[in-house]
Structure 1
Amino acid sequence: MNLKHSREFATFAGGCFWCMVKPFDELPGIYGILSGYSGGHINNPTYEQVKTGTTGHYEVVRIEFDPEVFPYEKLLELYWPQIDPTDDGGQFQDRGNQYRTAIFYHNDRQKQLAEQTKQAIQLSGRFKQPIVTEILPATLFYEAEDYHQDFYKKSPKEYKEDRAKSGRDEFIQSNWK
């Protein structure tokens, strides 16, 4: 019997990439998650360059998944409640262009689904301000430095402290639950 699994990528910007790995990690049909940079205008950016906010890159997570096991729609359902989609200046305590939110689509179907979910959130009345999360074509992905990968596992104490002071969890609880 030939068990062939299809694989796709989903790329999401949701502020600091440290906080965007855990919600998607270790779920059936998710093959891997890499923290990295997309959308900028220089090649092979480093964290030191990206954190200046001048390279045009977003901090992103790139998720490799099997759409037959974990459909893209489910990824979007997990993505939106991780962010403040009305904030165009960053996310929570992390301010700057590199921390803006965006969905980078890899094909027309992803684009269509991302746009549909964005519109549904806007029309829901959940937020008084407009939804500013951008929906952009996927661009080159640059893997972040090794110490950023799986940060919540490698440095659980620092991750927990950073997340606690960010305001992310309070926002999620009051706006998405």
Structure 2
Amino acid sequence: MDKQYQLATFAGGCFWCMVKPFDEQPGIINVISGYTGGTVANPTYQQVCSDTTGHYEAVQITFDPEIFPYEKLLELFWQQIDPTDPGGQFYDRGQSYQTAIFYHDEQQKQLAEDSKRALADSGRFKKPIVTPILPARTFYPAEEYHQHYYKKNPAHYERYQIGSGRKGYIEEHWGDLKK
């Protein structure tokens, strides 16, 4: 019997920081760092960082919805970002570091909109939720040295999580869920 896997695509700032939280979950088949949403085919990291291609740094997740449904992916996504920041994420500024949910079908779009509305209504954040929900576009895998960076360079990854402000922000806003 063939499994029916699905794709989810999220932009949450630096893609290094977006892989590990998803990679560690049951039902996640693969997490790829890459670029999406822009106008240049097969962009390089340098091109994307120049903020001239329109791409977001993003992760594309292959998952088994029977084990880890899309709704749970959305919950985990919101817990990795500052959804109120339109200018990037933490230390990383610019269009390529902005957040977005890229939906692959109408059901994902509806679930993402419902999730965003629930987060806004929760009162967890004082500012409006600005993360857009956009149709998925061509996804270009990033260079190999970016893939699973947290495994290849664990000490640098940990320093970056702390130094960028991401780790502290997540603990401040979502620490209650970790208990």
TM-score, normalised via structure 1 length: 0.96
Q: In the comparison of the two structures, how many residue pairs are matched? A: 175
Q: Which residue of the partner structure matches residue 173 of structure 1?
A: 171
For 1:7 and 1:74, the matched residues in 2 are separated by 15
For 2:87 and 2:26, the matched residues in 1 are separated by 33
1:124 is displaced (CA, Å) by 1.3
* Structure 1 range deviating more: 161-170 or 8-17: 161-170
Runs of 4+ in 1 over 6 A off after TM superposition: none
For 1:157 and 1:170, the matched residues in 2 are separated by 17
Flag structure 1 segments of 5+ consecutive residues without an equivalent.
Answer: none
For 1:29 and 1:128, the matched residues in 2 are separated by 33
1:58 is displaced (CA, Å) by 0.3
Root-mean-square deviation over aligned CA pairs: 0.8
Give yes or no for the alignment of 1:38 onto 2:75.
Answer: no
Flag structure 2 segments of 5+ consecutive residues without an equivalent.
Answer: none
Q: Which residue of the partner structure matches residue 132 of structure 1?
A: 130
Give the secondary structure class of the aligned counterpart of 1:42: coil
Alignment match of 2:6 (pick from 8, 22, 35): 8
Q: 1:24-173 alignment to 2 at 5 Å?
A: 24-173=22-171
For 2:166 and 2:39, the matched residues in 1 are separated by 29
Amino acid across the alignment from 2:64: D
Amino acid across the alignment from 1:148: H
For 1:45 and 1:83, the matched residues in 2 are separated by 24
Per-residue deviation, residues 96-148 of structure 1 (Å, max 9, x unmatched):
10000000000111100000010111111111111000100000000000000
1:26 is displaced (CA, Å) by 3.5
User: Taking every aligned residue pair, what percent have the same amino acid on both sides?
Assistant: 63
For 1:144 and 1:160, the matched residues in 2 are separated by 20
1:45 is displaced (CA, Å) by 0.4
1:27 is displaced (CA, Å) by 2.3
Amino acid across the alignment from 2:41: N
Query: Is the alpha carbon distance of 1:128 and 1:26 closer, same or farther for their aligned partners in structure 2, counting shifts above 3 Å?
Result: closer
Amino acid across the alignment from 1:139: R
For 2:15 and 2:100, the matched residues in 1 are separated by 12
Give the secondary structure class of the aligned counterpart of 1:176: helix
1:174 is displaced (CA, Å) by 1.1
TM-score, normalised via structure 2 length: 0.95
Q: Which residue of the partner structure matches residue 23 of structure 1?
A: 21
For 1:113 and 1:152, the matched residues in 2 are separated by 29
